[in-house]
Chain A
Amino acid sequence: MSQLVEPAPAATGPASDVLLAEPADAPTLFRKGRRWWATIAGYVATVFALVTFNFGIPRLMPGDPIEALTAFGSPTYVLDDTTRASLNEYYDLDAPLVRQYGDYLSGLLRGDLGVSIYNNRPVSTDLGGRVGWSLLLIGTGTVISVLIGIPLGVQSGWRRGKRVDRGLLAFFLAYQNLPIFVLGSAAFVVLTVKLGLFPYGGGSHPFNDYTGLAKLLDVGRHLALPATMLGLDAATYQYLVMRSSVVGELGSDYLLGGRAKGLRERRLKYAYAGRNALLPVVSVIGLQFSLAVTSVVFIEQIFAYPGLGSYMLQSVAVRDYPAMQGAFLILTLTVVTVNLVVDLLYRRLDPRTVA
């Protein structure tokens, strides 16, 4: 993996064709020359910002953090002044902000995300049951996106400017512009409601007592459509990055050498160019995860999937703020942590990122 290949003087193509332009915003997540400790410091700052945000925003809003609960017009309207005062005391809202903040932080460190107003259970317990479903959905979606995006990206880049490439590129660029909730809704209505190909929603059949293989099949049937929608969404990005990365490898000496040795086209394409072009795709994974979290909120909502995103939205609908804040914190912390891991991993894979 150590050939320092000069970026190939790109193969000729019709110069004025917009569709052949390389994707505009190739990810610039990793700024070269940043030390690992600077990365970790950035991560710590981000986490701190998120936690403070989570603590501060409800308190910055007009009224107090529980105003939405107790105010006129909310389903849990509190008329009585003494009840109001005891609620304030329960949530410790009369204490100085610094102490509230300290308590909040120490609570977080102990894994205490507060108690749901809606069902009176600890938020962390509820979230614990949801995380797995979201991860299953995102994980399956990622596998699908890799299986679609990378081979097609290699194919397209290898035959840059040819019919296959133009067709695939036009398709993915168009697909990228379709809002996921439009596509998701359409897929739901047509494939699930009209054609009855998939179960209506949820992560598994309710009240089932499946075991073993039957259980696996049941979960799989519920997972198939949402994960595919998520996968197609993410595949676009991987396709674009893989394609431009392969294009960058075209015309390299090692390909010429391989060809001179009489290697088969297939081997050159996948084992040589494809493999060398894979590195930038790794760098997108972090970015992709961040995008996947956005998409997964929509997908979970449309397919009533029991993950973190739908939990957050349900909490918003019933004004269960502790639950909403907990879900928000877990979602965002997961994203920044994945970004950190990918960043550190990328350093190991490609020493050139460190100047």
Chain B
Amino acid sequence: MRAPLSAVRGSPVLVVGLAMLATLVAVAVLAPWIAPYGPKEITGDSFESPSAAHLLGTNEAGADLFSRLIWGSRTTLVVAVAASALVLSAGIAVGLTAGLRGGLADTALMRLVDVLLGLPVLPLLIFVGALAGPSLSTSILMIGAFLWPQTARVVRSQTLTLRQRGFVASARGFGGGATYVIRRHLVPALGPVIAANLVFVAGLAVGIEAGLSFLGLGDPSAVSWGAELQRALATGQSQLGSLWLWWLLPFGLALTFAIFGLSLVGVALEPRFNPRQGRR
């Protein structure tokens, strides 16, 4: 995390990725000013073709698709931030506990992680999501609940190596308590690993939320890119026009754009912070 500017200068991939993310955040924050209409405002007929008034036409209810595209970025962003915050806090807590305590706690937690990692996540999400009822907070909570094991494993292995390092040993030798060592030494040292992990988790979360919405398991009232894809596909089948060009395509591209941006940042952070990969 040191000298972020010099880090950026070295890597075009990081620059592009960050620029994409910045665009996404700007669109989400400025949505009320950029979007010509509200996302649910009915401003035209059903299935209007693109025009000056409706850049991407209208949906089945007559709402402006361009506005929905812009407002949808907020859902994506909320999911990315909230879900990865959940995943990271759970993952870090478990990983640190397992790595520092060792012994039985470590074995038990890591067995749990193994079991969870072996399960296919999507059926689990569908199962719990269907029973809990679709809502945005359910999606976020579920993503948090099922994605933390990977982070926990990464944090644990990193903690194990850090524990052996001189500065941690000497801090403990001078009488530093567990909380002190965690706060003063471990968390800063884990920072880079966590940063890279954060970006990957955020990308996964965005994809999963869109996927669930695409399968009709998302929040029916939220304006979500995934849900929009589902609706476009369901209607496209019966309408057979060029509807997909301004309905399916823009929302698919927006989603891809978000995931790509996150992934590029992740790829760029990875070798920097993973010394094993840097050494080639």
B13 within 8 A of A: yes
Contacts A15-B280, A294-B120, A312-B126 hold; do A24 and B268 have CB atoms under 8 A apart?
A: no
The answer for the CA separation of A193 and B233 in the assembled complex, in Å, is: 11
Cβ of A332 and Cβ of B120 under 8 Å apart? yes
Cβ of B120 and Cβ of A186 under 8 Å apart? no
Cβ of A298 and Cβ of B215 under 8 Å apart? yes
Closest chain-A Cβ to B232's Cβ sits at a distance in Å of 8
Segment with Cβ contacts to B, from A43-51, A108-116, A117-125, A258-266: A43-51
Cβ of A21 and Cβ of B267 under 8 Å apart? yes
The answer for the CA separation of A181 and B244 in the assembled complex, in Å, is: 14
A336 within 8 A of B: yes
Q: In the complex, how many residue pairs between chain A and chain B have their CB atoms under 8 Å apart? A: 132
The answer for the CA separation of A293 and B271 in the assembled complex, in Å, is: 30
Contact of B277 among A24, A189, A297, A327 (CB under 8 A): A24
Q: Give the contacts of B121-136 with A (CB-CB under 8 A).
A: 121-124, 126-128, 130-132
Closest chain-B Cβ to A208's Cβ sits at a distance in Å of 21
Cβ of B267 and Cβ of A336 under 8 Å apart? no
Contacts A177-B260, A293-B123 hold; do A324 and B229 have CB atoms under 8 A apart?
A: no
Cβ of A324 and Cβ of B118 under 8 Å apart? no
Cβ of B122 and Cβ of A179 under 8 Å apart? no
Q: Could you say which residues of chain A place their CB within 8 Å of the CB of B121?
A: 294
B170 within 8 A of A: no
Q: Could you say which residues of chain B place their CB within 8 Å of the CB of A155?
A: none
Cβ of A331 and Cβ of B123 under 8 Å apart? yes
Q: Give the contacts of B79-128 with A (CB-CB under 8 A).
A: 111, 114-115, 118-124, 126-128
Q: Could you say which residues of chain B place their CB within 8 Å of the CB of A179?
A: 207, 210-211, 255-256, 259
A325 within 8 A of B: yes
The answer for the CA separation of A324 and B249 in the assembled complex, in Å, is: 31
A316 to B, closest residue via Cβ: B130
Cβ of B10 and Cβ of A182 under 8 Å apart? no
Q: Could you say which residues of chain A place their CB within 8 Å of the CB of B115?
A: 42, 45-46, 49
Q: Could you say which residues of chain B place their CB within 8 Å of the CB of A85?
A: none
Flag A61-79 by CB within 8 Å of B: 1 or 0 each.
Answer: 1000000100000000000
Closest chain-B Cβ to A184's Cβ sits at a distance in Å of 9
The answer for the CA separation of A54 and B130 in the assembled complex, in Å, is: 13
A185 within 8 A of B: yes
Q: Could you say which residues of chain A place their CB within 8 Å of the CB of B263?
A: 177
Cβ of B131 and Cβ of A18 under 8 Å apart? no
Contact of A189 among B126, B244, B267 (CB under 8 A): B244
B62 within 8 A of A: no
Contacts A58-B131, A179-B211, A189-B233 hold; do A316 and B126 have CB atoms under 8 A apart?
A: yes
Q: Could you say which residues of chain A place their CB within 8 Å of the CB of B249?
A: 186
Q: Give the contacts of A291-331 with B (CB-CB under 8 A).
A: 293-294, 297-298, 301-302, 312-313, 316-317, 319, 321, 324-325, 327-328, 331
Q: Could you say which residues of chain B place their CB within 8 Å of the CB of A339?
A: 118
Cβ of A181 and Cβ of B211 under 8 Å apart? yes
The answer for the CA separation of A55 and B81 in the assembled complex, in Å, is: 32
Cβ of B274 and Cβ of A185 under 8 Å apart? no
Q: Could you say which residues of chain B place their CB within 8 Å of the CB of A239?
A: none
Q: Could you say which residues of chain B place their CB within 8 Å of the CB of A332?
A: 119-120, 123-124
B114 to A, closest residue via Cβ: A42
Residue among B131, B210, B263 with the highest chain A CB neighbour number at 10 A: B131
Contacts A24-B270, A45-B111 hold; do A182 and B229 have CB atoms under 8 A apart?
A: yes
Q: Could you say which residues of chain B place their CB within 8 Å of the CB of A188?
A: 233
Contacts A317-B216, A331-B123 hold; do A185 and B210 have CB atoms under 8 A apart?
A: no
Flag B217-237 by CB within 8 Å of A: 1 or 0 each.
Answer: 100000000100100110011
Q: Could you say which residues of chain A place their CB within 8 Å of the CB of B13?
A: 18-19
B240 within 8 A of A: yes
Q: Could you say which residues of chain A place their CB within 8 Å of the CB of B255?
A: 179, 182
Flag A19-32 by CB within 8 Å of B: 1 or 0 each.
Answer: 11110100000000
The answer for the CA separation of A178 and B170 in the assembled complex, in Å, is: 47
Flag B135-178 by CB within 8 Å of A: 1 or 0 each.
Answer: 00000000000000000000000000000000000000000000
A127 within 8 A of B: no
B214 within 8 A of A: yes
Cβ of A22 and Cβ of B277 under 8 Å apart? yes
Taking Cβ atoms with an 8 Å cutoff, the residues of B that contact A are 10-11, 13, 111, 114-115, 118-124, 126-128, 130-132, 203, 207, 210-211, 214-217, 226, 229, 232-233, 236-237, 240, 244, 248-249, 252, 255-256, 259-260, 263, 267-268, 270-271, 274, 277, 280
15 residue pairs of the A-B complex, CB under 8 angstroms, read A24-B277, A42-B115, A42-B118, A57-B127, A68-B131, A173-B267, A179-B207, A181-B210, A182-B256, A186-B248, A193-B237, A294-B122, A313-B126, A324-B126, A331-B123
Taking Cβ atoms with an 8 Å cutoff, the residues of A that contact B are 10, 13, 15-16, 18-22, 24, 42, 45-46, 49-50, 54, 57-58, 61, 68, 173-174, 177-179, 181-182, 185-186, 188-189, 193, 290, 293-294, 297-298, 301-302, 312-313, 316-317, 319, 321, 324-325, 327-328, 331-332, 335-336, 339
